[in-house]
Amino acid sequence: MATAVPDFISFLPERVWYLTASGTELWCRRPYTFFFSSSEAALAFAKKMNTEFDLQPIGVASKELVDATSIEALRRQQISRIFLDPQFDDASGDVFGKILRLEAETAQS
């Protein structure tokens, strides 16, 4: 069965950054992951998250993040929400911003 690809491209800038601790794998907090429109925004968010990992941004063409292979990989990681340029509320510790929903793939008959 082919993976259904959501129409995210209209919401994403041409180039998208994501955070990684390994240099390749996408860092996330299931069910959320985080995409950024600039390397600086990604770094600022990483500093606010104060994780045990040394998170670094990697920039890729947004078309590479919304192909069938990438969408399937996100679903395998149980990602169902993608924050776009999230903000961190220092007072509450909450993350807020635009969220793109990645619905679970349903079986086709």
Residue 107 lies in a domain: no
* CATH number (domain holding residue 27): 3.40.1350
pTM for the model stands at 0.84
pLDDT for position 51: 79
Give pLDDT tens digits for 69-100.
888 888 999 999 999 999 989 899 899 999 98
Residue 1 lies in a domain: no
Q: How far apart are CA 68 and CA 71, in angstroms?
A: 5
Give pLDDT tens digits for 10-33.
788 899 999 999 988 889 999 999
Residue 3 lies in a domain: no
Q: Tell me which residue range forms the domain holding 24.
A: 12-101
For residue 46, give every residue at least 6 positions away whose Cβ sits within 8 Å of its Cβ, in sequence order, or none. Answer: 19, 55, 56, 57
